[in-house]
Chain A
C-alpha cells in the first residue's frame, strides 16, 4: 500500500497520559501535514514538516503538543498530559513538492478518545 499510513486507527487515553500518533507519508513524498478534526467541523491545520524540519507550526497549541519528522521513520505527533478536549480525529497528509499548488493526500486518521 503506497498511500499515507497512520497508526493507530483508534487510541484511547486517560486524562494526563501521553498520546503518540504516527504517520508515514506516501512513497516519494517528503512533506507532511497534520490536521485535527472535531465532529461536524472542518480540518484545522496544526503543523507542516519536511524531513528533520518544522516548516510551519502556527496551528499547533503552544503547550503539550509537539511534532517531529526524523530523517528515518515516520512523523510523530505527540500530545502530552492529554485532556478531554483533545479528543478528535487527527489526520496526516503528505505531498510530493509542498507549496500552494501541491494537492494533499490524506491518511485514514487516528481517532483519539480521552476518558
Chain B
C-alpha cells in the first residue's frame, strides 16, 4: 500500500465547474496535510495546508480533512484553464516525522 494515494487522472472539468481532487493516506499518525500545484516542467508550489479535521477555505480553494477516514481533498471552485496542472497531495508527521511524503499527483485539465 502506498503511503499517499491519489487518482492519477486525468480529471477533466469544464471552465467554471468545481474540480474535486481526492487523497488518502496510510499513516494514521500523520499530522499535517498539504496541497501543491505543479505545472508541467515546473516546480511544485504550495496551495494550501490543513492540520485539523473539517474544511479550510482560501479564495476559490477549499481543503477538507477527515482523519478518521484518512482522507483529504481539495475543491477548486469556478475552475479556470489556468488551473490546469498536476495537483500533489503531501502528508507529514506520523512515522516519518522528518519528511513530507507525496502522492503521485492528479492531473487536472480545465476546458474552456
Task: Answer whether residue A55 sits at the interface, using C-beta atoms and an 8 A cutoff.
Answer: yes
- Give B residues with C-beta under 8 Å from A: 4, 6, 30-32, 34, 36, 42-46, 49, 51, 88, 90, 92-94, 96-105
A43 to B38, CA, bound (A): 11
| Docked-complex contact A101 and B32, CB < 8 angstroms | yes
Query: Is there contact, CB below 8 Å, between B49 and A42?
Result: no
| Chain B hits for A114, CB < 8 A | none
Number of residues of chain A lying within 8 A (CB) of chain B: 25
| Cα–Cα, bound, A106→B90 (Å) | 13
Cβ contact of A109, chosen from B31, B43, B88, B96, cutoff 8 A:
B43
User: In the assembled complex, which residues on chain B have CB atoms less than 8 Å from the CB atom of A59?
Assistant: 99
Having A42-B105, A104-B90, one finds 14 other A-B pairs with CB under 8 Å, namely: A33-B99, A35-B102, A42-B4, A42-B103, A43-B44, A43-B90, A56-B96, A91-B43, A99-B97, A100-B92, A101-B49, A101-B51, A101-B93, A103-B46
Set of chain A residues within 8 Å of B101, measured between Cβ atoms:
45
Quote the shortest CB–CB distance from B46 to chain A (angstroms): 5
Report the tally of A-B residue pairs with Cβ distances under 8 A. 64
Closest B residue to A91 using CB positions: B43
Contact in complex: A42, B102 (CB < 8 Å): yes
Most A-side CB within 10 Å, residue of B4, B32, B43, B97? B43
B93, B98, B104: the one within 8 Å of A42 (CB): B104
Q: Is A69 an interface residue (CB 8 A)?
A: no
Of the residues B4, B36, B46, B98, contact of A48 by C-beta under 8 Å: B98
Q: Which residues of A contact B (CB under 8 A)?
A: 33, 35, 40-45, 48, 55-56, 58-59, 91, 98-101, 103-109
Assess the A43–B43 pair: CB atoms within 8 A. Answer: no
Q: Knowing A41-B104, A108-B42, A108-B43 are in contact, say whether A101-B98 is a contact too (CB < 8 A).
A: no
Query: Which of A33, A48, A100 lies at the interface centre, i.e. has the most chain B CB atoms within 10 A of its CB?
Result: A100
